[in-house]
Each structure stands twice: as C-alpha cells, then as structure tokens.
Chains A and B, each alone.
Chain A
C-alpha cells in the first residue's frame, strides 16, 4: 500500500528524517512512536505531501507520489489529520465535514446551487459526525468546539475523503482519559477497513491498535516490528520506552 525508501529531510544541520525506510500493508495499522523531536510530524508531513523530502521515494498504491503536492495526494486517497487541530474555525462542524465530502466528490467549479442545501454533501457529513459522536454538535462553529471534539472532527474530515490510507497525527493529543478511550474504541472499529499510519504518544492506544510499530529516534527508524517485539527490544527501551516507563 505504502512504501517509503531512504526518505531524508534536513533543516540546516538537523536531519529531521534520516534515510527512513517504512511501509504499510493493505489493511494494516502501522504506528510510529518516538520521543519528542524525533521527527514524527516531519515524517507524516512528507507522506501527506506538505513537505518535500530532500531525497528518497514515496510509493503509494504502486505509484511514485514523491513529487506530487498535498492536494493531488489527497485526491489519490491519502488523507491526514493534524496534530495541532486544523479545521475551518468560522464554519460549523457540519460545514467542515461537508467540505471534505465535497473535496472527495471531485472538482468544485459549481457556482450556483447552495452547497448548504445539497443533500449529497450534507447527509454523508451528518452520518460521519454521528459516528464520531459529534452529531449533536453539528451546527456549532468549529471554533467553539472543545479540544476533544476538535480531534474527533479532524478524524471525521479525514474519513469523509474515503481514503485508502489514513495518516493520523496524534489523534488523541491533549484528550481527557474518557475521550481518549472513546477515540481508541472508534479507531479500533476502523482497523482492517483502512490502512492506517498512526503517530501517537499514548502508549496504551498504540499497543492496543497497532499491528506493527516503528520506532523513530533522531529521524531514523531504529526498529520495526510487532508490538510485543517492540516492547521487548532492549534497544527501544533504552532509546524511548525507558523514559516513559
């Protein structure tokens, strides 16, 4: 589904991505963990096409997408959610998701009909909000949603794109315990239906959701494997898990 080879990105002397090798199989949830500053967001931004790598290749569904910009990749089925909430604040939750549905529906060079009355956009959007537990908040301005609701909205928008690969950048960031549990439960229902790259700090979530885990430290993947193998790896414990445990 996704193959990353030798991905490298530097900021001055800092190598944020240093020859990353990474792949995602069809239907797999592949988590990326690593300490702060390990280059996780830089990595996911390159996958999404928001950042251009200095070197390396990204092959998505058999096609080299390294040179494609974010909008093209999104249309090919690569959807991302942002670590720091990035929604349309002046629009309602429903508008936000409807815009994502609209993006999925093809070009938007339609100038006359009221998009807010368009059932083809509003109904799928409403269903997604219901699934994420935001149904009652559909008409609230995104700016007025709580932090946890923002995270849910991020995921709803990514799903509205009917992606083949979901890039989730810390979907649980800053959530309360209860909200996190609900989100983990929901992401669990997506498992197998989507291929997912999950960047997450919450170890509980990672070990419950991931089929495989890659550990990123200083821009390098130091280990990839099944959750048990990663948990047991002395190298990983030293580099990362040790700090948290």
Chain B
C-alpha cells in the first residue's frame, strides 16, 4: 500500500469512528464541530483547484459559500424544501455566478484579479444585507432542513455527519482526478509558465474559466451543506473574512496538494476551538500562530504527511 493510500485509509477510519466515540463519551458537540470542518474542507478543496493548481488568487471564494446557502434558504421560503431541487439549484447558481465573475476577472491577473474577485464577493455580501425579506443583516432561520424523500434526515446529526464525510471524500477525489487529467495538466502547466502554454497552442483563458466554474459549483455544494449545518443563513458567509479563512486553510494545509485544504480546514478550526476555550481574545494568539506555521511549513501541513 502506498503512503498516500494509507493516509486516506487512516483519515476515513478516524472520521468514520468519531460519531460512535463522541456518542459514547456523551460529547455530541464534537460531531457538530467535525461536520463543520468537513463542510469547510469541501469549500477549501474547491478553492485549491483554482488557487493552488490554477494560480488564480481568488479572494472572493466565500461568495459561492454564501450563494449556495442562500439558494437553499430562499427556495425554502418559497416552499421548496426538497434537497433534490435545492442542492442542484445551489450548485447551478454558483456555477453560473462563477462563469460570470470568472469571465470578467480572469482577463486580469495579479493584484487586479485579487481585487476584482474580492469586489464581486463583497457585492453579493451587501446584496445579502440589503435583502430584508430574507433577513437582511441578521440572516434568517431555514424553514426546514433540506429533505431527501425520507431517505435521509439531515436533522439527525449522525447521518448528516456521514453525508458530509462522504461528500468531502468525493470532492477531494474528484479534484484529484481533475488535476491529474489532461485538463488539469494544462491548468497546472499554465500556472507554471503561461508564455510556454500559449506557444504550444493552449489558450489559458478557457481552461482557467472552466476550472473557476468547477470550483464555484463545488463550493456551492459546501454552501448548501453549511446552510443545513447551521440551519441558519447569514450574509457573513460571503464576507471577505470568510474568503480569507478559506484562503488560509489552503495555504496552511499546502497549496496544490490533495490533502492540504482538508488538513488546513481541520487545523484552523481546531486551533480556533482550543484558543476560544482559553481566552476571548483568541484571535490575538491565532494570528501569530498562523504566521509562524506559514514560515515553518513551506509546503503546508500536507508536506509533513507527504499527502
């Protein structure tokens, strides 16, 4: 068995074993925490596709988290609570939004790309705040969690947990396949040397835009999960703070690595949780810790595990 396969086997077993253990210890809180980590790991994995592999520093990726969540919430308001309808709409809406945002922003590069993606995300954030019908600034409670024809009850913390685990592993595997496919090779090569890609006949724009749309769609799924996780949606999901968190997860975990975004998401949320227990000024400690980790783990946490 290769090192990578062993790593994923351990991850899958450990995560699968958590709910019974947390249940036995009478600490259901952990199920909730890890579920949130896995949902954000999906979002971070999607960001890694464009940031890590594509070299596109999107500072507005939380836009899709927010949009995916609002798709679920808004459909709920109008009586559509079936996940079979809600989730594809969330994913589709995010793909469309990513196509529009990407079509404009991918024509730029460097600092302009960062600022434009940030600006689009902030637009959506303020749109959320201005929508009084859907709770405005305060956000709103979901009418009900997404339903799946009675097959799956997201109100059941444990089954929802296993759904998130399965979807996270699928998202990571799909991303892994994409980045090693012909498409992924073009994407990564173009990050490495754009002039060379043009010279051999690849038009970078289409490949980047396609990756941007895939990443947006995948993050939309994370948004739909997140809405169900908190049972509550707020514009804050699309804020630049959230975008920054996602970027940090990717960088901390290891850009352009398979496991990096997941490790980064887990590490960031665990550190946050521990520090919150110590002091309410936890951010003062977390900040320097993050800086140190970036300095010392150049290839991210994934570099330690070779995963």
Query: A-side interface residues toward B, CB under 8 Å?
Result: 48, 50, 69-72, 74-75, 79-80, 82, 86-91, 95, 98-100, 102-104, 108-116, 118, 121, 157, 160-161
Contacts and interface: CB of A to CB of B under 8 A. Distances in A.
Contacts of B183: 108-111
A115 B181 contact: yes
A90 B200 contact: no
A79 B199 CA distance: 7
A82 B197 CA distance: 12
Contacts of B199: 48, 50, 70, 74, 79-80, 82, 86
A69 B200 CA distance: 12
B77 interface: no
A61 to B, nearest CB: 16
Nearest to B207: A108
A161 B196 CA distance: 13
B192 A88 contact: yes
Interface in B151-199: 177-178, 180-186, 188-189, 192-193, 195-199
Contacts of A69: 198, 203
A95 B185 contact: yes
Contact of A74 (B180, B188, B200): B200
B193 A88 contact: yes
B202 interface: yes
A237 B177 CA distance: 59
B200 A115 contact: no
Given A71-B203, A95-B185, A108-B207, A114 B180 contact: yes
Contacts of B150: none
B14 to A, nearest CB: 27
16 contacts: A72-B201, A74-B198, A82-B199, A86-B195, A86-B196, A86-B199, A88-B192, A89-B193, A90-B192, A91-B189, A99-B186, A102-B186, A103-B201, A109-B182, A115-B180, A121-B182
Contacts of B202: 71, 103, 108
Interface of B: 177-178, 180-186, 188-189, 192-193, 195-203, 207, 210
A231 to B, nearest CB: 33
A118 B174 CA distance: 18
Nearest to B200: A103
Given A80-B199, A82-B199, A157-B200, A115 B192 contact: no
Nearest to B186: A108
A4 to B, nearest CB: 19
B182 A113 contact: yes
Contacts of B180: 114-116
Given A111-B177, A114-B180, A99 B198 contact: no
Given A111-B177, A114-B181, A99 B201 contact: no
A78 B9 CA distance: 48
A50 B194 CA distance: 12
A29 B201 CA distance: 23
Closest 10 pairs between A and B when the two form their complex, measured CB to CB: A74-B201, A103-B200, A108-B182, A110-B182, A70-B198, A103-B201, A75-B201, A71-B203, A88-B192, A115-B182
Contacts of A113: 181-182
Given A110-B181, A111-B181, A114-B177, 6 more contacts: A74-B198, A79-B199, A79-B200, A104-B200, A113-B182, A118-B182
Contacts of B185: 95, 98-99, 102, 108, 115-116
A115 to B, nearest CB: 5
Nearest to A70: B198
A206 B91 CA distance: 59
Contact of B195 (A50, A72, A111): A50
A74 to B, nearest CB: 3
Contacts of A70: 198-199
Given A50-B199, A103-B200, A157-B200, A91 B192 contact: yes
B181 A99 contact: no
A165 to B, nearest CB: 13
B62 to A, nearest CB: 25
Contact of B198 (A71, A100, A110): A71
Contacts of A104: 200-201
Nearest to A121: B182
A109 B186 CA distance: 9
A103 B200 CA distance: 6
A95 to B, nearest CB: 7
B26 to A, nearest CB: 44
Choose among B182, B185, B199, B203 the residue with the greatest number of A CB atoms under 10 Å from its CB: B199
A125 to B, nearest CB: 12
